[in-house]
Amino acid sequence: MTRPLLPALLGLALVTGAAPASAAPNPCGGAFTQHRAGGDGDVVCTCGRLAPAPVWGTSTYTADSDLCAAAAHAGAIPATGGEVRARRAAGCAGYRGSFAHGVPSGAWGAFEASFFFPGHGDGACVLPDPDACPLVWAVAPGHAPGVERTCACGSSPGGEVFGTAIYTADSSVCAAAVHAGAVTRGGGRVTIRGAGGCGGYSGTAANGVTSRDWGAYGESFFFPGHGDGACRSVGTLCPQTFEQIGAELPAVCTCAGAEQGAIYGTGVYTADSVICVAARHAGVVGARGGEVRLVPVAGCHHYEGSARNGVTSRAWNAYERSFTFRPPAGAAPYPTDCPPI
For the chain, give every domain's residue range: 7-116, 137-222, 242-325
**Per-residue CA distances from 102 to 10, 96, 105 (Å):** 13, 16, 10
The pLDDT assigned to 15 comes to 41
Among candidate residues 86, 82, 150, the one with its CA nearest the CA of residue 115: 86
Kindly tell me if the per-residue pLDDT of 16 is higher than 50: no
In 10 A of CB 279, how many CB atoms? 28
Dihedral sign for Cα 292, 222, 173, 156, please. positive
**Tell me: the pLDDT tens digits for 134-147?**
888 987 888 999 99
DSSP line for 297-310? EEEES-B---EETT
Per residue in 152-165, pLDDT (tens digit) is 998 888 888 999 89
- Cα separation, 22 vs 99, in Å, equals 32
3-state class (DSSP) for residue 109: coil
Name the β-bridge partners of 17.
Answer: none
- The alpha carbon of residue 63 and the mean position of all alpha carbons in its chain are separated, in whole angstroms, by 28
Q: What number does CATH give the domain 242-325?
A: 2.170.130.20
Using the predicted structure, report yes or no on whether residue 18 has a pLDDT greater than 60: no
Could you read off the pLDDT of 297-340 as tens digits, one per residue? Answer: 889 999 999 999 999 999 999 999 999 998 776 666 677 778 87
End-to-end CA distance of the chain: 74
Same fold, 137-222 and 242-325: yes
CATH of 137-222 given 2.170.130.20, 3.40.50.720, 3.40.50.300, 3.30.450.40? 2.170.130.20
The reply to whether the predicted model has a pTM over 0.75 is: no
Residue 200 banded pLDDT, cuts 50, 70, 90: confident
Task: Report whether pLDDT(9) > 80.
Answer: no
What's the chain's average pLDDT? 85
| Beta carbons within 10 angstroms of residue 50's beta carbon | 22
Please, are residues 12 and 159 in contact by the beta-carbon 8 Å criterion? yes
Question: What is the radius of gyration, based on Cα positions, of the chain?
Answer: 24
- From residue 341, alpha-carbon distances to 32, 267, 302, 304, 313 in Å are 71, 16, 7, 11, 19
CA-angle at 161, arms to 72 and 277, nearest 5°: 135
Question: Which CATH superfamily groups domain 7-116?
Answer: LCCL-like domain (2.170.130.20)
Q: What is the tens place of the pLDDT at every residue in 36-56?
A: 888 888 999 999 988 778 899
